[in-house]
Amino acid sequence: MTLKRILAVGAAVGTALALAGVAIAQSTEAPAAAPAAAEAPAAEAAAAVTPAEEAPVAVAAELPADGPANPGDATAGEAKAAACAACHGADGNAADPQYPNLAGQHEHYIARQLALYKSGERDNAIMLGFAATLSSQDMRDIGAYFAKQAPRPGVADETVIAEGPNAGRKFYQVGQKLYRSGDPARGIPSCAACHGPTGAGVPGPSWPALHAQHAQYTAVQLRAFRDGAVWGKDGNANAIMSAVARNLTDEEIDSLASYLQGLHDVRDAAPADATAAR
């Protein structure tokens, strides 16, 4: 298996929408789609698909009403995030790929997910235990701390697919095409429209950063969405990702996850070692 780190040129991400790779989006309307990439294999195999229904409108709810939350304090958040380190790493880069990287994630997105865990609207017994005692301000502070940490880029799988409809393509390229262009014939929009060309997302509670995320974690979440998982209840529910993922194949999910693991903005790369350059 060969692996590749995907370099993406940083571009400003507007408040766009479509649907995306991994993570969760809440909004009342969809942002404009990002430009489609001008790449496609010579022949694409036809596949039987289920027509995608229009996703219900989803509205992000306020954080728990335990008092007003001010903008997060990263210094205060560092101490509060100490309990997160065992799974997510002290700097938000998780060593175990079953746990998500939080480094570089948006403050509001992290705070919102913690609120959903605390209310039980996102089901996870472990996270419920951690979130139960947090105030809205704690959530913002923890989010601010992780937002300031640098994500550690992973690598994408370059193995050439031997058989099937995508035979001859590098494994990550299947997900790359879906991320950049989607598949309109199957009702799958470009992931980049919500999460940006470099996977940086949009600051706020709705459009998370996806770049450099562990492929294992991403694939698990996409399969859950494909099976109908929805985070939130009633007016706070978000059914967007379940509508997007319903027509994804296992190969497409794993390829998207691999592509995202290697995706990063070249501007986020660590400076080259001066001695190595000699």
Contacting residues for 177 by C-beta, under 8 A, at least 6 apart: 37, 39, 40
Q: What does the alpha-carbon distance between residue 120 and residue 109 come to, in Å, rounded to a whole number?
A: 16
7 DSSP 8-state letter? E
Digit-coded pLDDT (tens) for 195-246: 999 999 999 888 999 999 999 999 999 999 999 999 888 877 878 899 999 9
142 DSSP 8-state letter? H
How, if at all, do strands 6-8 and 263-265 pair? parallel
CA torsion angle 194 71 115 210 (round to 10): 30
**pTM given for the model:** 0.75
Hey, which bits of the chain come out as E strands? 3-4, 6-8, 156-157, 263-265
> What pLDDT was estimated at residue 69?
77
Nearest Cα residue to 73 out of 128, 111, 39, 101 = 111
198 DSSP 8-state letter? T
Enumerate the β-bridge partners of residue 71: none
Confidence class for position 169, pLDDT limits 50, 70, 90: very high
Nearest Cα residue to 247 out of 69, 48, 57 = 48
Enumerate the β-bridge partners of residue 202: 207
Q: What does the alpha-carbon distance between residue 50 and residue 104 come to, in Å, rounded to a whole number?
A: 36
Residues 223/215, Cβ–Cβ less than 8 Å? no
pLDDT of residue 22 exceeding 60: no
pLDDT of residue 36 exceeding 50: no
Rounded average pLDDT over 173-178: 98
Q: What percent of the chain has pLDDT over 70?
A: 71
pLDDT of residue 59 exceeding 50: no
